[in-house]
Amino acid sequence: MAKELPTRAEDYAQWYVELVKKADLAENSDVRGCMVIKPYGYTLWENMQRALDKMFKDTGHVNAYFPLFVPKSMFEAEEKNAEGFAKECAIVTHYRLKNDPSKPGKLMVDPEAKLEEELVVRPTSEAIIWNTYKKWIQSYRDLPILINQWANVVRWEMRTRLFLRTAEFLWQEGHTAHATRQEAEQEARLMLDVYAEFAERFMAVPVIKGRKSDGERFPGAVDTYCIEALMQDGKALQAGTSHFLGQNFATAFDVQFSTKEGKLDYVWGTSWGVSTRLIGGIIMAHSDDDGLILPPRLAPLHVVIVPIFRSEEELNKITAAIEPVIGDLRKAGLSVKFDNRDTQKPGFKFAEYELKGVPVRIAVGPRDLENGTLEVARRDTKQKQVLKMEGITTAITALLEEIQSNLFARALKFREEHTTRVDSYEEFKRVLDDKGGFVLAHWDGTTETEQRIKDETKATIRCIPLEGGQETGACVYSGKPSAGRVVFARAY
Amino acid sequence: MAKELPTRAEDYAQWYVELVKKADLAENSDVRGCMVIKPYGYTLWENMQRALDKMFKDTGHVNAYFPLFVPKSMFEAEEKNAEGFAKECAIVTHYRLKNDPSKPGKLMVDPEAKLEEELVVRPTSEAIIWNTYKKWIQSYRDLPILINQWANVVRWEMRTRLFLRTAEFLWQEGHTAHATRQEAEQEARLMLDVYAEFAERFMAVPVIKGRKSDGERFPGAVDTYCIEALMQDGKALQAGTSHFLGQNFATAFDVQFSTKEGKLDYVWGTSWGVSTRLIGGIIMAHSDDDGLILPPRLAPLHVVIVPIFRSEEELNKITAAIEPVIGDLRKAGLSVKFDNRDTQKPGFKFAEYELKGVPVRIAVGPRDLENGTLEVARRDTKQKQVLKMEGITTAITALLEEIQSNLFARALKFREEHTTRVDSYEEFKRVLDDKGGFVLAHWDGTTETEQRIKDETKATIRCIPLEGGQETGACVYSGKPSAGRVVFARAY
């Protein structure tokens, strides 16, 4: 293979970063902490956006767009939210450059163009949006508002990693406003379900739905719901969050409405988001030492066809025979590439498409033409089979579905094998170190215990799971009473 | 009507701004110069994006994403480009807020978190992208690169107007890299054709394709091509630009490649963009004193159905009869709304959908049910007709096509009536003042004359048209020889 990767066993973190770069998904830019999302990675994101956007619209949401900048005084209105993001905000202070008199051809910030009030580049948009909702909401008739925004946001992270943690990232953020507490809570849970369905059906990544502990809650929320996924190195990845905001932002921005009964009340809110971080999750959940393995429902390219030829004449024959096949596959909605380059050998191409995670590879040579067959290889298991050219579209479509199911089943099996119930702190630490994964343990419900466990083991409470029967017990750390097991893990 | 607009004759500028707000397209935010694009306006933008994105992909382009921020030293590398945008750049200088010790609960910029190098919020992305292309391009085999980006950009405009000129706006920017001058020039022209086709086929706005004069060229380009549209007040709107960049950015960022012949050469480039400004163009080209008139191919809502009823029983009967019709219309790919509110009278609803520019309105009452008919009104001409319920989908689909064609024909007729050939400066000024529109006049080709005409009349050279026979003559201003007529107008 032209582009060697470290193996996962050797160095998982390095394997991940090299894979992202070598598979042409993204690279670091020369702007601190910001990435360039390359066309192959961006197409994956577009496919994710399309699926999510449809799910949002099917549940009654519409898209809109709010400003990139938040004036400082607006930003600080919801104090907890402001405090939570203050340490990682990019701040615009000036609105003009001018020629630098001391350096011909160079520019400098014009000190005379200082803003009266600094602007925060949005790390999240609750402030600007609730400030706008104030103007839109007078009566219960104006509710609910069910809006989503596709946007870039900036959080000044000190240690960054492609897709998983970058200073600028792309995401969607839903912001809804409701007349009742119950309706807002239902909305937050509904969107959590939407995220879980997206993760499992499209990304082929099983997730645990849960609620965050007080210590891990979104700043400004009353409740944060989340989906948590498990990566192959045994670390958890938060794959989406949905916040029940209570009346916190409505209070901070004075968004009141007259109820059906003619009283004034503050509006109830939710917000929810997923980001380009999910691309990191897809990569780490499925891929292997040879490269990406992408779920067919999101893959930029479903099928690559590699002709095996020794002369131009052979290539011409293959091309003539394969063109109708390509046409049929495309008609079935598949993305197909015919790689007829004569500058690279088939083996090189095979390795390249394995690296890029194309779910199905078809090889076709002169012998196949004689027999009316094709050699079909699936990326997930690397199994090859010889199939009749006739009816190939049906076979490939079915195979892609099978790959999608297999990826999910494999990831689910891995998660089950890496989910451990422990009943002592010793066992807790041993499982974390030896095996990793999700550790289901009793916890006394205090932030103090949570923090101590984190300091001692680097494991955090990923969530208090929504499903799974209540089971009382004793906290593995303090021995105090516990109302149920929570999900611990080391996490990204 | 509930929401009165000024008429166009009374105050065109005010009519425009009020219409944008009252039709729920967009509003000013509390962030200086930045707008909120409301769901109805954003859906229009999504429809424009979908059509453009398909055209870009059909011509071989792929999407990618580059950072929002450009370090100052990178920004200033292409000097003309930097100079052109320096005066309107938002500058990030700090990356953290902290608690303000003098004001409890308030935040201040942390002076210790000053960036070593300031970051420019992108006003356009040539610098960051060519800095990246340097890493991607070594050989002619790496070319062409045909990339588009959908993004937000910031230009600190002092006087803003919704959609037409805002500090932050949404756009797409194509950035391509080529091995030869000819190929890059062809690309720039190809994308101009794509823009013209989009404007005429989707926006129903006829455009003149041309080249900008030296004075109006994009900073850093060798040639700027543009499409120019005419608004109903006789002013021109630049509706899209496509730049042949020559080797300017490749030289500034040292992007060289080895040619087929084994020599080193600088890469040739183009860039091209259209923005949310086009929404302003659609509004101003078609709408009337009662509200928006939207072209069916981009309208967020194609058909609204208003039931005429006096009792719940009547509404129920109408609903039962109309539901299959709605189903059929939706199956045909149309966006349909059934407005069964009992809190508003039909007349109010009619006015509301006229304001919002829904192309087709259907009214249906008990009499219609008896007769198996529907009353169909088209927004563009306000004509009503009674149509059989049977076969209504075919009729509506055809009507929408007819509206689309009619809007284009109407706008084209208006442009023809407001395009005047003049041969003296007196006539030039009289036509501009009395009639407005495009003025075709001879010009001596100098920036000096162009500037004087602008200072004296506020008219600028919109473009040197690509089509239309060469015709020598004498400059209307200087009397010096002219190689052909150019298009003058007052412009947005």
DSSP letter string, B176-240: EEESSHHHHHHHHHHHHHHHHHHHHHTS----EEEE--GGGSPTT-SEEEEEEEE-TTS-EEEEE
Whether residue A383 lies inside any domain: the answer is: yes
Say whether both A48 and A170 belong to one domain: yes
**How is residue B140 annotated by DSSP?**
G
Mutation for testing the B interface, residue in A69, A134, A142, A279 having most B CBs under 10 Å? A69
Same domain membership, residue B31 and residue B168: yes
Amino acid at A253: F
Task: Name every chain A residue with its beta carbon within 8 A of the beta carbon of B38.
Answer: 64
B474 domain-assigned: yes
Same domain, yes or no, for A257 and A310? no
- pLDDT value for B485: 96
Q: Report pLDDT for B2.
A: 46
The alpha carbon of residue B37 is apart from the nearest alpha carbon of chain A, in Å, by 5
Which pLDDT score is estimated for A2?
Answer: 46
pLDDT in tens, A429-450: 999 999 999 999 999 999 999 9
Dihedrals phi, psi of B148, to nearest 5 degrees: -120, 150
Is residue A256 located within the same domain as residue A399?
Answer: no
- DSSP helix/strand/coil, B456: helix
3-state helix vs strand vs coil in chain B, percent to 5: 35, 30, 35
Closest CA–CA distance from residue B253 to any residue of chain A (Å): 13
* Cβ-nearest to B92 among A42, A75, A90: A90
Domain that holds residue B65: 12-286
- Which of B25, B27, B35, B36 would you mutate first to test chain A, the one with the most A CBs within 10 A? B36
Residues of chain B positioned with their CB less than 8 A from the CB of A45 = 65
d(Cα A281, Cα A296) in Å, to the nearest integer? Answer: 15
**Could you tell me how many residues make up chain A?**
492
Question: Tens of pLDDT along A203-217?
Answer: 999 999 999 999 999
pLDDT at residue number A1:
45
- Cα gap A300→A304, rounded to integer Å: 11
Looking at the structure, do residues A18 and A133 belong to the same domain, yes or no? yes
Instruction: Identify whether residues B220 and B107 lie together within a single domain.
Output: yes
Residue B262 within a domain: yes
Average pLDDT over residues B232-240: 97
pLDDT band at B470 (very low <50, low <70, confident <90, very high): confident
Query: Mind listing the pLDDT tens digit for each residue in B85-116?
Result: 999 999 999 999 999 999 988 999 999 999 99
Q: Quick check: A350 and A361 in contact, CB under 8 A?
A: yes
Query: In angstroms, rounded to a whole number, what is the distance separating the alpha carbons of residues B181 and B72?
Result: 29
CB A272 within 8 A of CB A191: yes
Q: Note whether B395 and B423 are same-domain residues.
A: no
CATH code, domain with A437: 3.30.110.30
Assigned domain for B44 exists: yes
Q: With respect to residue A298, please indicate whether it lies within any of the assigned structural domains.
A: no
Q: How far is B436 from chain A (nearest CA, A)?
A: 35
Kindly determine whether residue A65 and residue B91, on different chains, have CB atoms separated by under 8 Å: no
Q: Do the chains contact at B119 and A31, CB–CB below 8 Å?
A: yes
Looking at the structure, tell me whether residues B148 and B234 fall in a common domain.
yes
- Chain B positions touching A63 (Cβ under 8 A) are 39, 42-43, 46
Q: Search chain A and give the residue with CA nearest B68.
A: A168
Residue with tokens 């906290």: A475
Peptide bond into B346 cis (omega under 30): no
Which residues of chain B have a CB within 8 Å of the CB of A93?
Answer: 91-94, 109
State what percent of residues in chain A have pLDDT above 70.
99
Question: What's the complex ipTM?
Answer: 0.97
pLDDT tens-digit readout, B338-359? 999 999 999 999 999 999 999 9
CB distance B97–A29 less than 8 Å? no
Q: What is the pLDDT of residues A455-486, one digit of tens each?
A: 999 999 999 999 876 799 999 999 999 999 99
State whether B263 and B205 are in the same domain. yes
Q: What percent of chain B has pLDDT over 90?
A: 97
A·B CB contacts under 8 A: 189
Nearest CB among B27, B38, B89 relative to A96 is that of: B89
pLDDT of B1 strictly over 60: no
Listed residues B239, B254, B286: the one ending a domain: B286
Residue B2 inside a domain? The answer is: no
d(CA B180, CA B185): 9
CB-based contact B31 A69, cutoff 8 Å: yes
Buried b (16+ CB within 10 A) or exposed e, B187-216: bbbbbbbbbbebbbebbbbbbbbbbbbeeb
| Minimal Cβ distance to A91: which of B70, B94, B128 | B94
Are residues A64 and B36, on separate chains, in Cβ contact within 8 Å?
yes
Residue B398 pLDDT:
98
- Give pLDDT, residue B3: 59
Residue among B46, B71, B109 whose CB faces A63 most closely: B46
User: From the CA of B444, how many Å to the nearest CA of chain A?
Assistant: 32
Minimal CA separation from A181 to chain B, in Å: 24
CATH of the domain at B192: 3.30.930.10
The alpha carbon of residue B86 is apart from the nearest alpha carbon of chain A, in Å, by 5
* Contact state of B76 with A120 under an 8 Å Cβ cutoff: no
pLDDT tens for each residue of B382-395:
999 999 999 999 99
Domain CATH number, residue A335:
3.40.50.800
Residues whose CB falls within 8 Å of the CB of residue A126, separated by 6 or more in sequence, listed in order? A78, A81, A175, A220, A245, A249, A269, A271
**What is the nearest CA distance from A456 to chain B, expressed in angstroms?**
29
* Residue B326, domain member (yes or no): yes
Q: Which of A220, A228, A227 is nearest to A246 (CA)?
A: A220
Reduced to 3 states, what is the DSSP secondary structure of residue B32?
coil
Looking at beta carbons, which residues of chain A come within 8 Å of B151? 152
pLDDT digits (tens, 9 = 90+) for A357-414: 999 999 999 999 999 999 999 999 999 999 999 999 999 999 999 999 999 999 999 9
To the nearest 10°, report the CA torsion of B452, B457, B463, B466.
-100
Token pair listed for B396: 């509506």
- What 3 state SS string does B9-28 have? CCCHHHHHHHHHHHCCCEEE
What is the mean predicted confidence (pLDDT) over B123-144?
Answer: 98
Instruction: Name the DSSP letter for residue B122.
Output: P
What residue of B is the nearest CA neighbor of A38? B64
Mean pLDDT value across residues B448-470: 94
- Same domain (yes/no): B268, B311: no
Q: Look at residue A3 in the predicted model and tell me its pLDDT.
A: 59
The pLDDT-based confidence of A348 (bands split at 50, 70, 90) is: very high
CB–CB of B38 and A170 under 8 A? Answer: no
Least Cα separation, residue B342 to chain A (angstroms): 13
List CB contacts (< 8 A) between B64 and chain A. 36-39, 42
Specify the residue for token string 């001596």.
Answer: B444
Q: How far apart are CA A353 and CA A360, in angstroms?
A: 9
Q: What is each CA distance from A413 to A81, A203, A205, A408, A417, in whole angstroms?
A: 38, 15, 11, 9, 6
Nearest CA distance, A143 vs chain B (angstrom): 15
Rounded to 10°, the helix A312-331/A392-417 angle is 70
CB-based contacts of B350-354 (< 8 A; 24+ apart in sequence): B350/B306, B350/B377, B351/B1, B351/B2, B351/B3, B351/B290, B352/B2, B353/B304, B353/B306, B353/B379, B354/B290, B354/B291, B354/B379
**At which residue do the structure tokens 């009749």 appear?**
A388
Tokens 């020369």, residue?
Answer: A30
Is A71 within 8 Å of B31 when comparing Cβ atoms?
yes
Nearest to A39 among B64, B94, B119 (CB): B64
Task: Kindly tell me if the per-residue pLDDT of B206 is higher than 90.
Answer: yes
Nearest to B105 among A79, A118, A121 (CB): A79
Smallest CA–CA separation between A363 and chain B, in Å?
25
pLDDT of amino acid A469: 66
Q: End of a domain among B365, B399, B433?
A: B399
| Residue A351: predicted pLDDT | 97
pLDDT in tens, A399-420: 999 999 999 999 999 999 999 9
Closest by CA position to B279, among listed B355, B181, B169: B169
Mutate to test the interface with A, among B107, B150, B254, B335 (most CBs of A within 10 A): B107
pLDDT band at B179 (very low <50, low <70, confident <90, very high): very high
Q: Look at residues A221, A254, A286 and tell me which one is the last residue of a structural domain.
A: A286
State which residue of chain A sits closest to B121, comparing Cα positions. A92
Q: What pLDDT does residue B158 have?
A: 87
Asked if residue A398 and residue A423 are part of one domain, the reply reads no
Number of helical H runs and strand E runs in chain B: 14, 27
In whole angstroms, give the CA distance from residue B341 to residue B325. 19
Number of domains, chain A: 3
**Phi, psi at residue B22, to the nearest 5°?**
-70, -30
Whether residues B213 and B307 share a domain: the answer is: no
Residues of B with CB below 8 A from A31's CB?
Answer: 67, 69-71, 74, 119, 128
| Residue B468 scores a pLDDT above 80 | no
